[in-house]
Structure 1
Amino acid sequence: MTDSIDAEGPRKPQPADALHREVDLPGCEPKPATEDTRAPALLREIMDHPNYRQADEDPAFLHRADMRGTRLMLDYQKAEALLAEHGVAHAIVVFGSTRIPEPEVAAERLAALEAEAARAPDDADLAQRLRIARRVHDKSRFYEIARDLGRLVGEAEGPHGNRLVVVTGGGPGMMEAANRGAHEAGARTVGLNIMLPQEQFPNPYVTPGLCFRFHYFALRKLHFLLHARALVVFPGGFGTLDELFETLTLIQTRKIRPLPVVLVGEAYWRRVFDVDFLLDEGVIDPEDRELFWYAETADEIWQDIRRWYVSAGRDITAPGPDCA
């Protein structure tokens, strides 16, 4: 015998509500004190314990030594996902000293030290600080060169271009100058900050939403090179040298595809880095000497980069990363 059905067929259930039930599941209410007077206190102790926190909301757990792999993954994934979301594909990466300010600031600092030194002509420490201030003031011209370069890159892609952007470490000095030039051109510009024991503020010219803070230097370096179409290196210290030599090593060993590496300020770099000595000593090959060159102006830097890509038969905005 078959069940009777109406003309419209058997009744079919309606979709369940996405959030609410008609009858709550067991456990939606805590065990009441009427059943056990100890229950509320015991429950509070359980729920207040740090281990009860959901894993992605538990900073103490995420910072354990055995969670380093997860932190490395997050350091990589957050910036990569958001850069892609914003349409950022390729970068002109700019490095240089955080200690070289814009010329006006350098001039003010120098004038203040000169006045102080005049009042204490026998102070050897002050005399040394004055000598350094004069050299920093002389190098402050590079701030304007980096600023001009940022503007040239920004203008090349138009006011809303994202496929080729200026990327820096997001700090002051030379990085600020490059971000500033791109910002003034109306272009988006990226900063990859690093978390340090002392707070490091990003410079104000990075595009909001495109400034990322990394825990690991290694992952920050990876993001620079994943998107780099050229590396432009202004005078700098340990951090600048670290990025420069690592990039040259990766190109030398072909762990990444060759890309333009431009050292700005030949007089400075020839004292810091005697590549001809390395060549004469036999610790690098002649072809390694050709992995970089010097430039002095923003126009020269930008034209050299563009010429390099023409000579290489490559498109500076071709899709795909240049490092694995």
Structure 2
Amino acid sequence: MTDPVPPERIFPSSKVDAEAAKHIPSSPQTEDPAYKLAFQDNEFLLREDLRPVRFQLELLKPELLLDEQKIGSTFVFYGSARVPEPAKADALLAAAQTDKQRLIAERLKAKSRYYDVARELARIASRVDRDDEGRRHFVVCSGGGPSFMEAANRGACDEGVDSIGLNIVLPHEQLPNPYVTPSLSFQFHYFALRKMHFLLRARAVAVFPGGFGTFDEMFELLTLIQTGKVRPLPILLYGREFWNRVVNFEALVEEGVISERDLDLITWCETAEEGWATVCRYYEEDHRLRVAS
């Protein structure tokens, strides 16, 4: 006589009960929203009191799905959503009608070359092999939008590998760029949780010219490292001419509000090869995460 094998569980799963709930006969009681299963009641989940639950859901959903797809670490790309790719920059300049519009179009065209840099850097990062446990490292991760974000996902797509897009609901209509892997395309309600997911698996970050959103993401990361809340990692800052024009880093040191060594958190880069060499050098010295060069 063989030993009995107990069942894995004795309660039905939520999926089983959700399916059973579809076949409940209609009555005044069953038609009232109060009778809905709590996890299927959207109106209930959207109540103000349920905000902590929504926070937890937005934290857990991407984390669980990324784990299931064996995403070990990411290479995060930050940058503007407004800089056109080089092929479209000339059209933007041609459409300018005033001196101010022409000036802005010229500046955007000058920055458009970094679209190709971001795309190439993403291509290089996407060539890293899986580790012994089948996990992928330096998986390209962007905000999922246009411009430099699109360039990053496009570079991974060029190599035939998956990449991540972390989109967010905004008042104006927006869609993920077409190069984000559909099963790794996430949409967020909370900016804070979106920014957390950018960094939970990040092992390198490339920052391209950008506006308020890029500033927010970059300076939050610098603050987290400066204050010891996260371990240091390579931060590649592309477009030295742009950044030195819009942020006076040296003045922050001279004013005494940051230290000289805080500037060492940033590595200035101009090419994809230069950026990848920086990442490889960092982890060769660090030994906590090997990189294929």
- What range is the shorter-chain TM-score in? 0.7 to 0.9
Matching of residue 144 in structure 1 with residue 127 in structure 2? no
Which letter does structure 2 place at the counterpart of 1:247? L
TM-score by length of 1: 0.78
Residue equivalent to 2:89: 106
Q: Is the 8 A contact 1:94 1:175 kept in 2?
A: yes
Q: Is the 8 A contact 2:73 2:203 kept in 1?
A: yes
Structure 2: segments with no counterpart, 5+ residues: 1-11, 13-22
TM-score by length of 2: 0.86
Which letter does structure 2 place at the counterpart of 1:225? L
Per the TM alignment, residue 161 of structure 1 is displaced from its structure 2 partner at its CA by: 7.1
1:143-292 matches, cutoff 5 A: 143-157=115-129, 162-292=136-266
Per the TM alignment, residue 185 of structure 1 is displaced from its structure 2 partner at its CA by: 0.8
Q: Is the 8 A contact 2:253 2:260 kept in 1?
A: yes
Q: Is the 8 A contact 2:72 2:135 kept in 1?
A: no
Per the TM alignment, residue 311 of structure 1 is displaced from its structure 2 partner at its CA by: 2.5
Cα 1:195/1:316, change in 2 over 3 Å: farther
Which letter does structure 1 place at the counterpart of 2:249? V
Q: Which moved more, 1:208-217 or 1:126-135?
A: 126-135
Which letter does structure 2 place at the counterpart of 1:267? E
Aligned mates of 1:316, 1:56 — CA distance in 2: 42
Q: Is the 8 A contact 1:262 1:295 kept in 2?
A: yes
Residue equivalent to 1:64: 47
Structure 1: segments with no counterpart, 5+ residues: 1-17, 19-27, 31-39, 118-125, 318-324
Residue equivalent to 1:52: 35
RMSD in angstroms over aligned alpha carbons?
A: 1.9
Percent identity for Structure 1 against Structure 2: 48
Q: Per the alignment, in what secondary structure is the counterpart of residue 300 of structure 1? A: helix
Per the TM alignment, residue 89 of structure 1 is displaced from its structure 2 partner at its CA by: 1.2
Aligned mates of 2:259, 2:50 — CA distance in 1: 42
Aligned mates of 2:182, 2:113 — CA distance in 1: 27
Cα 1:29/1:309, change in 2 over 3 Å: closer
Q: Deviations over 1:152-211 (max 9, x none)?
A: 1112338x9723300011111100001101111111111111111223200010112011
Per the TM alignment, residue 222 of structure 1 is displaced from its structure 2 partner at its CA by: 1.1
Cα 1:52/1:197, change in 2 over 3 Å: farther
Q: Per the alignment, in what secondary structure is the counterpart of residue 225 of structure 2? A: helix
Per the TM alignment, residue 149 of structure 1 is displaced from its structure 2 partner at its CA by: 0.7
Q: Deviations over 1:247-305 (max 9, x none)?
A: 00000011000001111011111112211111111111122111112100111011111
